[in-house]
Structure 1
Amino acid sequence: MNPDQIAAVNDGRPVVFRNATVLTMDEAGLIDGGDVLVVGETIAEVGRDIAAPDGAVEIDAAGGIVMPGMVDTHRHMWQTALRGLGADWTLSQYFVFYYLTWGKIFRPEDVHAGNVLSAIEAVDSGVTTTLDWSHGLQTIEHGEAAADALRASPGRFVLAYGNLLGAPWEWANSPEFRRFAGGFDSSGGKLGLQLAFDVTADPEFPEKAAFEAARELGLRVTTHAGVWGATNDQSIALMWENGFMTPDVTYVHAATLSQDSYQRIAATGGAVSVSTESEQSAGQGYPPTWEIRRHGIPVSLSMDTSVWWSADLFSAMRATLSADRSREHLEAHARGETVVHNQLRAEEVVRWATIGGAKVLGLDSAIGSLTPGKKADIVLIKNDDSPAMYPLLHPYGSVVYQAGRGDVHTVLVNGRVVKHDHRLVGVDLTAAKEAVGRTVEYARSTMGEDAWQESLTPELPTAERVPNPYTYTDYDGGEDRHRAQQD
């Protein structure tokens, strides 16, 4: 498409993807040499040799994969403003930074800046829907800044409203929040609303009032569960005993729970958001897909935060499949056995990244698959300049193990072109970067240089080397001694 054609599509002109490998993620399955027709905001037809309306813009998708836009079900978008700062942090250091010391310095404009850059990054990598687990909303002004950023950004979003420095049973019932909660469309519009808070295992269960507020407002709840050292089985028990484990709850991480807790989640129709790179690196627990699958709990994928990681669900799929298989091999080896058939397949992981995420957000009637009548959130993966994208023998495997954000050729959200020919469309990236630059400057000056440097380079614990009973004389200086003898 040329710029005029892109403008025409964004003004409502039909567009058709031609001759692609189509991953519908519905009962139609995989279609070789398939077409996808979009009319307005909607997927009109999926199949082969579609007769497009007169004047439809055609996209040559030969050699590429057309699939639903990916769905990230848990991302702290505001923290993108400090991208990579915590690359060497543990989860404890993350808690100290945001919960105990520096989370309070973020202004509404800083939340806005982080959200805008995060939103742009998401669609650039083929993530068309993101749940913004926005726990930096200290005031309604912070919440309005977060929502304004998402409304103005390309992509589909759910604002999961939270405040890590406040009590959810208080802010969720405040008149200011009740007024703020109006004006969101949680049934498939461009911006929905959920509540985001954790259950601390206080036996008094003060979070009950926050759950009651969510129920009264008709909002889903997303909560960090099964996080080592933070939320545990007692949190699950309190939710169960008070009747707040329902299909409207998403359990983020769920990595260190007991069999009983997993059974309760399964029995009540709950779902889990797995952040494999986060769980592997930060320490919430081993990525739990191996356990969740055993209990039949719905799975979705997420990237957590750019303080560590990017908005790249290709990385999430790759890490998740590898972690699940690693666990299976290690357990088999401990029994003296060999795994001869993989339980988890690439197709299932792609499903988790698309329709699985849509189901977890309650949006599967609107997005998540290339089904006629659904919203046209579509990704074309195609890169003729990449040796890694040819040959296309196992499309699901290519998505998981071969593709990356640089292979995202075209992205549609709600039928609008937001990326084409590997370039973002209608996005002022320069302005977004400048706003984040101002936040970085403000944060660094407010924290002071010592605290800033300490955050970048946390203390490195000493590690004793294992004593070695062998002496490698030929390796350790042996060559120099041999040369001296010759001289």
Structure 2
Amino acid sequence: MNEHREGQAIVIRGGTVMSVNATRDLFTKADVLVIGEEIVAVGTGIGVPDDAYEIDASGGIVMPGMIDTHRHLWQTAMRGYGADWTLTQYFVWNYLEHGKHFRPQDIYAGNLLGALEALDAGVTTTVDWSHGLQTTDHAEAAVDALVEVGGRSVLAYGNIHRAPWEWATSPELRSFIERRIPRDGMLGLQLAFDVTGDPSFPERAAFEAAKELGAAVTTHAGVWGATDDNSIRLMYENGCMTPETVYVHAATLSTDSYHRIAATGGSASVSSESESTCGQGYPSSWELRRHGIPISLSMDTSVWWSADLFSAMRATLASDRAREHQLAHENSETVTNIGLRCEDVVAWSTRGGAEALGLGSVVGTIAPGFKSDIVLIKNDSSPTMFPVLNPYGHVALQAQRADVDTVLVNGRIVKQNHRLVGSTLARARAAVEGTVEYLESTLGPSVWREGMSPAIPDSKVLDNPYMYTEYAASSTHGA
């Protein structure tokens, strides 16, 4: 098979095209023409340049690249280490004890592997919720990896080891942003920090810094034992809730808090596997839908889960539908028509993510004028890839990362014939092996083993898992 030449038009031929536009149009046996960075035409019988590079999509599904609005890429080097952790144990290991040992090269290793993992699974845009950036050297390493892999990314800059009102206002952060964040559509910026509920609202300075920098804020909201309704109330009363704000998890919130989010136009990033496993609160899509709050999906971290949005879609469908049935049963009723549809979670994993990031006119949809972030799901060797009778249902409940045949980002082929293009994977393997060896030797064999089920210290960790403030919330067992 000939390789694609730089600048050569690409035509993806004969697939079922899932546009994920406002009317969620489907096109069967259709073609998608890509010239440069943009989608130029979609449909049957479209004109195609004679020398266009052809990709056979027959029997497959062509969809927008998926968008993950909350993933801690820096933790990918610890894949599966915390498979049996609770959220409290995660706080203890990463925040209070061992997360501080991560060097810049360890951030680089995790980001490199995590960004490759995202592309391999058809995730073309990833928010790197990078709250392990203890120094700007760590941030430099994070960006180095993102740029090297070449997906579309948003660096959500954070530092769990310092107060956000300190690092967000520092000259070092501004200098780093000026040097490394081009805002060119391929690498964007958010500020990532949480609001503890301290009545003095010290986080105000971080919100003001975000506004000055032109950066949206992404925040873990409605997380049992960490952030609660007081956090939302303080943000609202101080004018810090905007349409660009992304509320991660958004569980364990009151109706009043959901009303505040809806009224200010924000959106929520739902990580259903995380919420179900860790206890942030029951996965919130059912509540968010009731309040008309826009939703995107995310995978959180490979410390626990396989970081692909197929898993996110399934977990969200399962939790939302289970809640709907349970509530009906409690009222001696039967659900006869399900509320959450497969096409909804597919839309949340694509267009929903784009809109949350302010990219709704750029990516997340297959239509002329949009950037060519495209995924072909096709696997002629798999018995689960035919027949394709309900494309949305097939993507949400049948397909998996192994069925991702081809991935384009900004018109560049980054995966084809089920294999990532280029040699970055070998570098990622070497970098991650170095990080694991360093961490294991630094902690020592016994501490390393015990870390997979860390003991809970005699502290206020259940009230306040963060090191940067003494404030103790009353969300779990008293102030």
TM-score scaled by length of structure 2: 0.93
Alignment-derived partner of residue 466 in structure 1:
none
1:272 to 262, 268, 275: 268
Determine the structure 1 residue equivalent to 2:347: 351
Q: Secondary structure at the match of 1:35?
A: strand
CA change 1:28–1:454 in 2 (3 A) is closer
SS of match in other structure, 1:387: coil
The equivalent of 1:444 in structure 2 is 440
- Residue 321 of structure 1: how far off its partner (Å): 0.7
User: Structure 1 residue aligned with 2:10, among 15, 23, 32?
Assistant: 15
Q: Distance in 2 between matches of 1:65 and 1:152?
A: 28
- Kept in 1, the 8 Å contact 2:93–2:454? The answer is no
Note the alpha carbon deviations across 1:30-52, whole angstroms, 9 max, x for none. 11111100001111111112111
The C-alpha deviation readout for 1:309-351, integer Å capped at 9, x for no partner, is 1221000001101110000011111111111000010001100
Look up the SS of the partner of 2:451 in the other structure. Answer: helix
Q: Given the alignment, which residue of 281, 289, 306 partners 2:277?
A: 281
Q: 2:164 aligns with which of 154, 159, 168?
A: 168
Matched, 1:24 2:47: no
Distance in 2, matches of 1:377 and 1:252, equals: 24
Q: Which of 5, 14, 24 lines up with 2:3 in the alignment?
A: 5
2:50 is aligned, of 30, 41, 54, to 54
Larger Rg: 1
Consecutive unaligned residues of structure 2, counting only runs of 5 or more, are 457-479
Find the residue that maps to 1:432 and give its secondary structure: helix
1:445-475 deviations in Å (ceiling 9; x for gaps): 1111111111224579xxxxxxxxxxxxxxx
In the other structure, the counterpart of 1:69 is: 65
1:12 to partner: Cα distance: 1.2
The residue aligned with 2:462 is none
Q: Which of 329, 338, 356 in structure 1 is aligned with 2:325?
A: 329
Deviations along 1:383-439, whole A, 9 cap, x unmatched?
Answer: 011111111000000000000000000000010000001011013212111100000
Q: Distance in 2 between matches of 1:98 and 1:458?
A: 11
Distance in 2 between residues matched to 1:428 and 1:100, nearest whole Å: 33
Match of 2:476 in 1: none
1:240-275 deviations in Å (ceiling 9; x for gaps): 010001101100000110000000000000000000
- 1:184–1:191 contact (8 Å) kept in structure 2: no
CA distance in 1, matches of 2:359, 2:159: 24
The Cα shift of 1:187 comes to: 5.6
Q: Is contact 2:89-2:453 (8 Å) kept?
A: no
Q: Which runs of 4+ in 1 moved over 4 A?
A: 183-188, 457-460
CA drift of 1:55 comes to: 0.2
Equivalences for 1:245-394 in 2 at 5 Å?
245-394=241-390
Partner deviation per Cα, 1:129-187 (whole Å, 9 max, x = no partner): 00000000000100111011111113110000000001111111111111111256676
Q: Which whole-Å CA distance do the structure 1 matches of 2:182 and 2:268 have between them?
A: 19
**Residue pair 1:255, 1:287 contacting (<8 A) in 2 also:** yes
Are 1:36 and 2:37 matched, yes or no? no
**What aligned pairs does 1:45-124 form with structure 2 within 5 A after superposition?**
45-124=41-120
Picking from 427, 432, 435, the partner of 2:428 is 432
What CA distance in whole angstroms lies between the structure 1 residues aligned with 2:184 and 2:292? 26
Structure 1 distance, partners of 2:197, 2:180, is: 31
Choose which of 176, 179, 187 in structure 2 pairs with 1:180. 176
Compared CA separation, residues 188 and 396, structure 1 to 2 (3 A): farther
Aligned pair partner of 1:226 in 209, 222, 225: 222
TM-score, normalised on structure 1? 0.92
1:363 to partner: Cα distance = 1.1
Label 1:455 to 1:28 Cα distance change in 2 as closer, same or farther (>3 A): closer
Counterpart for residue 129 of structure 1: 125
The whole-number CA distance in structure 2 between the counterparts of 1:426 and 1:375 is 22
State how far apart, in whole Å, the 1-side matches of 2:423 and 2:307 are.
17
Instruction: Tell me the residue number matched to 2:471.
Output: none
The answer for the alignment partner of 1:479 in structure 2 is none
> Does the 8 Å contact 1:250/1:270 carry over to 2?
yes
SS of equivalent to 1:182: helix
For residues 39 and 207 of structure 2, the distance between their equivalents in structure 1, rounded to whole angstroms, comes to 36
Q: Is the 8 A contact 1:184 1:193 kept in 2?
A: no
Q: CA deviation at 1:58?
A: 1.1
- Please identify, of 181-190 and 290-299, the stretch whose mean Cα deviation from structure 2 is larger: 181-190
Secondary structure, aligned partner of 1:152:
helix
Cα distance in structure 2, aligned partners of 1:235 and 1:254: 11
Q: Write the letter of the residue equivalent to 1:284.
A: Q
Say if 2:149 and 2:424, in contact at 8 Å, map to a contact too: no
Structure 1's 46 and 407: CA in aligned 2 closer, same or farther, altered over 3 A?
same
Give, in whole Å, the separation in 1 of the partners of 2:434 and 2:118. Answer: 21
- Residue 214 of structure 1 is matched in structure 2 by 210
Percent identity between the aligned chains?
64
